[in-house]
Structure 1
Amino acid sequence: MTKRMIIMLVLVTVVFGGVFGMKYMGNVMMNKYVDAMPVPAATITAGAVKKMSWDNRLEAIGSFVPVNGTDVTTEAGGIVTAIHFESGQRVQKGDRLVTLDAANERGEYKRLQAQAELAELNRARREKLYKLEAISKSDYDAAVSEANAAKAAVEAQGAKLAQKEIRAPFAGELGIRRVNVGQFINPGSPIVNLQSLDPIDIDLTLPEQYIASVKPGFKVAVRVEAYPELEFAGQILAVEPKIDEATRNFKLRARLPNPDHQLRAGQFGRVRLELPGSREILAIPRTAINYDSYGTSVFVVQKKKVDPNAPKPEPMPGMPPAPQVDFEVAQRFIKVGDARGDFVAVIDGIKEGEQVATSGLLKLRNQQPVIITQEGELKNTLTPKPAEG
């Protein structure tokens, strides 16, 4: 019985020892394969570092202002008796807008006019008597003064009477009227907004280092959100001679034709200021740049470095051999300049002709093997346009 038990224990030990031994050897071979296996290649698109000739330009944000714009008000108070315009109407300089009740002023004007006529008749009689030497020079001078004072009173009352007719101070487009017939308005109360829209100005600011680069007459091109497909042309009208001490910026004003009244005061615009000459730069696609808190970098595509002493992985039974990859990427920090269209200028850190990864940046790291493909590659341009649906 004891001999049989010993034989059973030996057999069990041999069987389980063989199983665990095979498992151990399999794990060892798998670890060796994984350790020697190369990093999986990432599929990317790539673009070349190109030398480009860019025209000199500055870009800024501006706000449109009218050449003339105001809230039309009244100098005199009174009851509105007539309104001669509609909201949104275009008017010419001098067009009547609102009439106020002027019965009292008109009556006073007629009274003063009658007094002035009487004073003029008295002056004419005194003049004849003075020529006949029937009165003194002082009496004649008093009559002349009375006549002149009467005329001045008529003119002053005429000006007050004219204030009861509110007219457009310049040609432009009216806004929404704010008064009604029968309403009493006080002096200074707004009646309607009036804007002169053609031409129209745009104000913008630039850093002080550009004050020697811009001059009146330089051309500008403006884009607005309301008309993304259009570009409005104009030129610099004036450059502010003073630099703001708080921001170290200076102001410019450009003027643009606006015959269709597409641009409005207060509108936001992106301004491109054209400067004389051009400059040679190195440029890469925007999609190639990796922005991080520790710097701006790109992944440069280069020939894969092969270590002749590195062990070659042996394929596992039943598994295909790893594909051969000829390229890898190296992360490199660069210094970038301004952007234009789909490209960004590179000031330092890269050379002309080098290839940089333009897609799949999130899955890349140093010495990452890559496979370059043209599938899904974007066509970069200096003047991109929204895709048509």
Structure 2
Amino acid sequence: MTLTSRPLPSPPARRLPALTLLLCLALSLPLAAQERTAVIGARALLEPWSDPLEALGTLRADESVTLSATVTEIVAEVNFRDGEVVEAGQLLVRLEDGEEQAQLRVTQALRDERRSAVERLTQLQNRNMAPRADVEDAQARLRQVQAEIQALEARLTNYRLRAPFDGMVGFRNVSIGALVTPGTELVTLDKLDVMKLDFSVPEVYLALLEPGLGLTARSVAFPDETFEGEVASVGSRIDPVSRSVAVRAELQNPELRLRPGMLMVVVLRRSPREAVVVPESVLIPSGDRQYVLVIDETDEYRLERREVRVGERRLGQAEILEGLAPDELVVSHGVQRAREGDRVRLLGIASDEASIREILEAQRDEGDA
């Protein structure tokens, strides 16, 4: 019988390298899974808050006047430029007044003459050399001429147009040598350091309106700016057609950028109060409820999903009535990837000093380094 040799099976030790490779791969998967989700946080802040009430208003100058001629005469001087800021009492326009000045000088000379006559008669009367009636007649004639001087001086003011208050003049529409008549408009003057803002509010809000109520106003001319003001007075009547009440507010305008006639979007700050405020981006809606992801800074940034009650909203912010305390840290960006119980990697805290863009750019620079 012939014996045939068969190859022996490979020993188990030859499979060790493959098992080791699989084990390393298995161990590496949990390490990748343990990478923390990157998020940007935001603080819940205690800030002044109010319920907004919007309206449309029109600006008016605090004081406004159109200076016109009251006599027929020729313009002798024009002492202003278009858009110039002038002071109260400053001479703006002078009309020819030579004839009136001559009449005034004649009357003043007559006053001096009659005053001397009164003095002479008074001395004679003291010596019993003139009747008392003559003295009294002379005094009456002196008072008469003094009254004429006052009348002439009052008429002369009509030939000089002065600024009645500090303000800004409008366009110059008159020239030296032009003949003006009573009613001719010579220059406009507006007091612009304080502006009046007139608008209407539905009568349902009448009980909330009172002098001193704060407001903000915006204009398309300055889209990036907000002007602060307050209610100065509330109208005494309700419009029977529109069922609204007229309100007048005052805005400070120290740089004189606001002008009469501008249309302003007014936001009244009703029910002013202190409130916990967060960015709207932190809210997670679920049905008719709202949640936030609170970052526990004492537990390695572990997340807690918490229900909150939201009040009013405005310009990307939300008022939190319940569920969140001031200074708590919540997830603002990265909400979609974060889960309750996770520990996250905080890239930064968004605020007025550090925007989302700045935080992301700083992280990118660190990664490049």
TM-score, normalized by length of structure 2? 0.61
Map 1:77-96; keep pairs closer than 5 Å. 77-96=72-91
1: CA distance, partners of 2:182 / 2:61: 25
2: CA distance, partners of 1:96 / 1:188: 19
Q: 1:136 to 1:211 in 2, by over 3 A?
A: farther
Which residue is equivalent to 1:71? 66
Q: In the alignment, is residue 191 of structure 1 matched against residue 179 of structure 2?
A: no
TM-superposed deviation, 1:87: 1.0
Which residue is equivalent to 2:270? 275
What is the letter of the counterpart of residue 79 of structure 1?
I
What is the letter of the counterpart of residue 75 of structure 1?
T
Q: 1:131 to 1:228 in 2, by over 3 A?
A: same
Q: Deviations over 1:128-161 (max 9, x none)?
A: 2232333343332221111111111111111222
TM-superposed deviation, 1:247: 2.7
Which residue is equivalent to 1:28? none
- Which one of the candidate residues 126, 130, 146 is aligned to 1:135? 130
Q: In the alignment, is residue 151 of structure 1 matched against residue 146 of structure 2?
A: yes
2: CA distance, partners of 1:259 / 1:248: 35
2: CA distance, partners of 1:78 / 1:187: 9
2: CA distance, partners of 1:248 / 1:269: 21
Q: In the alignment, is residue 166 of structure 1 matched against residue 158 of structure 2?
A: no
Which residue is equivalent to 2:120? 125
Structure number with higher strand proportion? 2
Q: CA RMSD in A?
A: 3.7
Which residue is equivalent to 1:321? none
Q: Deviations over 1:144-198 (max 9, x none)?
A: 1111111111111112223212111111111111111111001221111111110
TM-superposed deviation, 1:277: 4.1
Contact 1:78–1:101, Cα closer than 8 Å, also in 2:
yes
1: CA distance, partners of 2:122 / 2:194: 57
What is the letter of the counterpart of residue 169 of structure 1?
P
| Equivalent position SS for 1:79 | strand
Q: In the alignment, is residue 108 of structure 1 matched against residue 108 of structure 2?
A: no
| Equivalent position SS for 2:154 | helix
The runs of 5 or more residues in structure 1 that have no matched partner are 1-52, 286-299, 302-337, 346-373, 375-389
Which residue is equivalent to 2:173? 178
Q: Deviations over 1:203-247 (max 9, x none)?
A: 111122222211111111110110010000111111122222333
Which residue is equivalent to 1:322? none
TM-score, normalized by length of structure 1? 0.58
2: CA distance, partners of 1:147 / 1:171: 39
The runs of 5 or more residues in structure 2 that have no matched partner are 1-46, 281-286, 289-311, 320-335, 337-369
2: CA distance, partners of 1:252 / 1:129: 71
Which residue is equivalent to 2:209? 214
